[in-house]
Chains A and B, each alone.
Chain A
Amino acid sequence: MQKRIGKVLVCSSLVVCLMAGLTSFGGAETTLSLWDQKNSPKEREAVEYIIGIFEKEYPEVKITRRIMPNLEADQMVRMAFAGGTPPDLSECQDPYTMVKYFQKGLTMDLTEWYKEYGDRYPLGVKSAMNFDGYYIAVPMAELVTMAVFYNKKLLADLGLTEPENYGEFCQALEAAKARGLTPIPIGTKAGWPGLHIYQHFLRETVGAATINDMIFRTDPNKGPRWTDPGFVRAAKYVDEMRQNGYFSKGAAMSSFDAGKMEWLGGRGPFFITGSWVPSFDFPPGFEWDFFWFPHIVGELGYYRNDDYIDLFASLQVSSTTSHPELCLDFLEVWTRPEVQHKAWFEIANFIPVVKGAAPEEELSKFQKAQLELSKHNTGTYHAMDCWMPPAVGFGALYSDMTALFAGEITPIELGKHMEKVHVEELKKLQE
């Protein structure tokens, strides 16, 4: 037994030495650490491509990339910052926290960089990265919009065409239901897929400006309230859809991906989500198209053209990096139109935000429509979940959405609960 213990001890010490040796192997070069969430195959490739370009131009620098799981990513980044060892470059899909990082001096002020390269972005995009006069991050890739995507074949089978308004949309849903299909396949266990639908209705009932007012509320005594008729009405619309059986059975317990599979598997015509749909792995023979969420004409007496356009992911630079210049250089490479074109447009199939990265001739129908939208809407609103304090956005809003889709909560209760949590959180933040 002793001999065995001895042998094992020797072996394990050798292994430890080997490991230590291996990990310090690349110590000679300069390394920049990049943490991102681009973990789907095409997105990964896109980032690898950009890293490749950078490393070719700056041969003495190596990028160590960490791909984080989406659900835990923001927490991991926050922990790293708090622990004093943040990555040089990190992706942030949580604009609320991104602003916080900057306010606490944890991320670098990029105003100088924007003076040189900021014009690569259209004005609207640039201003989204501006906080209090400073530029705090760089948009990573794409513009995000929300639409209703549909299965062309199924819609044709049902003898329908794209609905012009909400009334017609409901008729289409009824037709699908009558045929035994799931009108709107959806998996909203995580809360945010359902939130997207709720926001569509909010757009109709309160409009973009009010949504933004709610998001940027700071005074618990002022501002729109979740119990306002407009907000409750939007929740009611969602609830009605649920009661009519338009959503997947068990939507509240399915993941987004399960809902996606349902749609891709031909079990239902409409899929309401964001503009990442083109990057899906479609089954052979699947043809899709889209339309913007139909307006509710007549009943509410107005016809706005507000819409949702947001930037999801941005790159921020830690203020304690040992290589500030190199980080800025990396950002420069990242935002080159031809790089964005190859990486995000060609490889990942998104519509990159950088000017010139998506030439008019190469745009798909969807991408063209997105650009049109960004030019002609009357007001844009942000994603509620990412811009509000996390306890409100990621916490209460997500879980209330899931509850709404499960039929566990009424629209009024949702309004009351959201209001209570939001006010409490605002009070806490004021202290």
Chain B
Amino acid sequence: MEKMKSHKQKADEQIVHEYEVDTLGAPFKVSIIDVASIRIDPKTGKKSVQIPDLVGLINSVVRRRVSDKRKLNGPELKFLRTAIRVRAKTLAEFLDMSPEHLSRCEAGSKVMTTVSEKLLRLSVYLATYMAEPQDMFEKQVDEDEIVKKAGEPEDILKRIVNRFLLMKIQSVFDPSVELKYSFRRVDTSEQWSTEAA
């Protein structure tokens, strides 16, 4: 799914209007709008793609998915954990469950309880704002660091309450409705923002 824009970024590069990042590793569709550059090697004919701020994109995808009410399935649980680079054992201890149970949840043979899923969503969301996300699960969190990156304390509190604590996880949904998130760069803050898919 690549719709070329008419303008060029550099001589041999073209900005793609919508690029589906199917190699990200997410078990749902992720596309980026007006930022991916493509170039074709004139010798080999191979296509290369450039994504700005890959780590920022990964964090934004994580935040978007955990804010979505649809119940997390096994591959999505694994995606979230690997995206924030936390070991299964560490996360299992944090969620007060055995590593075997978490492994089965990630494999899809067990279902995580709603309470555990809410805690996972909240902690993963906050971890994306930390330099060392595993600290979120292993050590005492530096409150100043989170406040610095995530905004004012009141804003964080509102987000936590509205997005996670009051969230009604949607366990029943139409599986034919595909999850798809689109992202574009926000010029002013150089961050990724989502838009309706």
A interacts with B: no
Binding site for A on B (CB under 8 A): none
